[in-house]
Amino acid sequence: MTPRVKVCGTTNVADAVQAAEAGADALGFIFAPVSKRLVTAKAAREAGLAAGPTVARVGVFLNQGLDEVLRTAEAARVSAVQVHGSLPGLYVRHLAAYYPVLRVVRPDELTGAAREWAGVPGVTLMLDAPEPGAGRPLDWAALRADFPAGAWLAGGLGAANVAQAISELNPAGVDAVSCLERAPGRKEPAAVRAFVEAVRGTAGAGYPQ
């Protein structure tokens, strides 16, 4: 299957609607206070609803308390959560009782995380660069042997390189932010469309499906 497409760092209704019209499967709303793309629960709720019922709404968090994550996720009406940082396994398992979880890991954490979360209901791994949102791609070829089936991929992805990333790792989904922006939190519609089209174009192109 062609990987699912997530457009992260969405902050407003116009960008959410445009991404949905371009064919994105999911939108990411960042609630980590340190982010340049921080959005309120109210703004995320409005943008997510405007995008329509077929687009998944993912709340993105970094080392935030479980109660805060659950309160924000409910207020924003997200359909899944994505968690970054140093988090105990019990935290992630508890969260997965409420929402599907994308557990983000760095390359040096990938092997251990793949063993820990293999077959755990509600938890999917996402491999990201050490500095999420910085626009720096990973060395996909070097990671091929350790990349688990069903995992997602992020880190410096855009229209120019996502097909190569898919050919190397065959991820279940791809996530982009910085390469789709004109400024932090403001999408460039042409870049979003090109990214979605590049991912869709991998179907039938000889890449693993």
Q: Active-site residue numbers?
A: 8, 128
Which among 36, 42, 31 is positioned nearest to 84, based on CA atoms?
31
Beta strand 186-187 pairing with 181-183: antiparallel
Handedness of CA 43, 33, 154, 121 (dihedral sign): negative
Phi, psi dihedrals of residue 63, rounded to the nearest 5°: 50, 40
Residues 6+ apart with CB under 8 A from 175: 6, 8, 28, 126, 128, 152, 153, 154, 157
